Amino acid sequence: MKSRPTGVQTDEAYAATDDFITRTHVLPLLTDPERRARLIEEHRDNPIGRPGKAGRAGIQHSDDLARVIDKLRRAPMAGKYVRICVEPHVDYRIGVCSGVRGKPVKMLKDSYPSEDACEHAIFLRRIDDLLAHYA
């Protein structure tokens, strides 16, 4: 007789904690249309943050945007979106990870002219996926 996997084996504690954090601290930021629009605009202007340069401080994300990005980064590798550089400074695409080491990334057809544009498109897809998951 085969035994069922334990809660430790299925990572139930992590999943429950992540779900609680998402429902308590992330979804309220994304389900309010005004707050979501503000976060999307902030991300469009500065998708990956800007490091300090020539003695000036870096430009980081607001606490709310950082909270959303941290949540999106915790997603499992299977189905995760990644940026693929096809031709530097000209063509960037979104890839979808299989979650299996050694298996190629599936490249989507849409092309973006810059890293920032591609990162923002990934951000929008991740938000849509998260909201669909919790709908």
> What 3 state SS string does 24-88 have?
HHHHHHHHCHHHHHHHHHHHHHCCCCECCECCECCECCCHHHHHHHHHHHCCCCCCCEEEEEEEC
Give pLDDT tens digits for 13-52: 888 999 999 999 999 999 999 999 999 999 999 998 877 7
3-state helix, strand, coil in the chain (%, to 5): 45, 20, 35
pLDDT for residue 18? 92
pLDDT of residue 38: 97
pTM of the predicted protein model: 0.87
Whether the predicted pLDDT of 8 surpasses 90: no
- pLDDT score recorded for residue 59: 79
Tally DSSP H helices, then E strands, for the chain: 5, 3
Indicate the length of the chain as a whole number.
Answer: 135
Distance from C-alpha of 87 to C-alpha of 131, rounded to nearest angstrom: 32
**Rounded-to-integer distance, Cα 75 and Cα 130, Å:** 10
Under a CB-based contact definition with an 8 Å cutoff, are residues 30 and 68 in contact?
A: yes
Q: For residue 35, what pLDDT is reported? A: 97
Read off the pLDDT of residues 54-109 as tens digits, 9 standing for 90 and up. 888 877 899 999 999 999 998 889 999 999 999 999 999 999 999 999 999 999 99
Beta-carbon count within 10 A of 118 CB: 24
> Three-state DSSP class for 21?
helix
